[in-house]
């Protein structure tokens, strides 16, 4: 039993190192960076300017804030998470690993929730039922939002875990990398956001914390997209190579 477990862990470690090399050496990911990061840099700069303007009393259009509904930054996030969902769904269809499907469903859900703000609506709906001491630094609706994300996260992790046990090592490792990116985006989007409203702060302190929360979530969505691009490109090259081999096999048999 221990020998089998050691062999399984060794295969996962080898795949993890290979996955890291795939990400760092991916030409497709570098091409994506050339197209996306200049625009992402402009969005982060506009967000910084908007927060600075808010802190100094020189208000700028709300569309410059990354976290604002239907802002420039949010539209880029929609496109990145939807693109991830499409690539992961194709990988599931071609490779049969349910772990890719679990992450694809989560990406679709993140896109829908980001656009419709279901977590905020749930937080305000359940807030009257949550005991909230008068001097509590966290509002009841903030606790409700955390409960909402905890429920969604538990369902996603349960599905991902069950899929990972039946997945091949490569698919399992790829999905864990992607899950790590989603998880870190959630840390900034939920917990750092909670600390932004925790206690009393000056306008400048609130804007700085809000910028760190928005920028951190935005950065990890971008990095997760690049990981998915790298994995998708690597797997696509492999299944295209296998298809060429199958097509050339009858010709070689006839020639023999």
Q: Residue 128 and residue 123: Cα distance in Å, rounded?
A: 9
Q: Residue 196 and residue 209: Cα distance in Å, rounded?
A: 6
Which residue, among 1, 24, 14, 18, has the nearest Cα to 226 in the 3D structure? Answer: 24
Which residue, among 135, 227, 128, has the nearest Cα to 180 in the 3D structure? Answer: 227
Contact (Cβ atoms closer than 8 angstroms) between residue 23 and residue 227? yes
Q: Residue 228 and residue 28: Cα distance in Å, rounded?
A: 10
pTM over 0.95: no
pLDDT tens-digit profile, the chain (256 residues) = 577 667 767 877 888 899 999 999 999 999 999 999 999 999 988 888 887 888 788 888 888 888 777 788 889 999 999 999 999 999 999 988 888 998 999 999 988 888 888 877 888 888 888 876 666 667 777 778 888 888 888 888 888 887 777 777 888 889 889 999 998 888 887 777 666 666 666 666 777 777 777 788 889 999 999 999 999 999 999 888 888 877 776 655 555 5
The token pair that represents 182 in the structure block:
């989603």
For residue 151, the SS3 value is: helix
C-alpha triplet 202, 206, 210: angle, nearest 5°: 170
Q: What is the residue extent of each domain of the chain?
A: 26-240
The secondary element (H helix, E strand) that includes residue 140 is helix 140-165
Q: How far is CA 38 from CA 212, 236, 248, in A?
A: 19, 27, 42
Contacting residues for 77 by C-beta, under 8 A, at least 6 apart: 66, 111, 114, 218, 221
């Amino acid at each position: 039993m221990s020998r089998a477990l050691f062999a399984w862990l060794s295969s996962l470690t080898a795949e993890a190192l290979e996955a890291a090399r795939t990400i760092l050496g991916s030409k497709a990911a570098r091409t994506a960076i050339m197209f996306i990061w200049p625009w992402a840099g402009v969005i982060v700069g506009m967000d910084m300017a908007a927060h600075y303007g808010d802190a100094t009393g020189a208000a700028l259009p709300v569309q410059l804030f990354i976290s604002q509904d239907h802002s420039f930054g949010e539209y880029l996030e929609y496109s990145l998470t939807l693109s991830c969902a499409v690539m992961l769904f194709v990988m599931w269809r071609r490779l049969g690993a349910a772990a890719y499907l679990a992450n694809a469903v989560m990406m679709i859900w993140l896109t829908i929730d980001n656009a419709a703000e279901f977590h905020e609506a749930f937080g305000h709906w359940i807030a009257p039922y949550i005991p909230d001491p008068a001097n509590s630094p966290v509002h009841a609706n903030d606790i409700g939002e955390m409960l909402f994300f905890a429920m969604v996260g538990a369902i996603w992790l349960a599905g991902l875990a069950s899929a990972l046990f039946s997945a091949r090592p490569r698919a399992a490792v790829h999905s864990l990398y992607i899950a790590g990116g989603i998880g870190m985006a959630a840390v900034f989007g939920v917990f750092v956001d909670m600390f932004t409203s925790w206690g009393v702060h000056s306008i400048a302190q609130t804007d700085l914390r809000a910028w760190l929360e928005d920028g951190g979530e935005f950065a990890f969505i971008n990095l997760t997209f690049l990981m998915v691009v790298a994995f998708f490109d690597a797997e696509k090259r492999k299944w295209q190579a296998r298809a060429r081999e199958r097509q050339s096999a009858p010709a070689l048999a006839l020639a023999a």
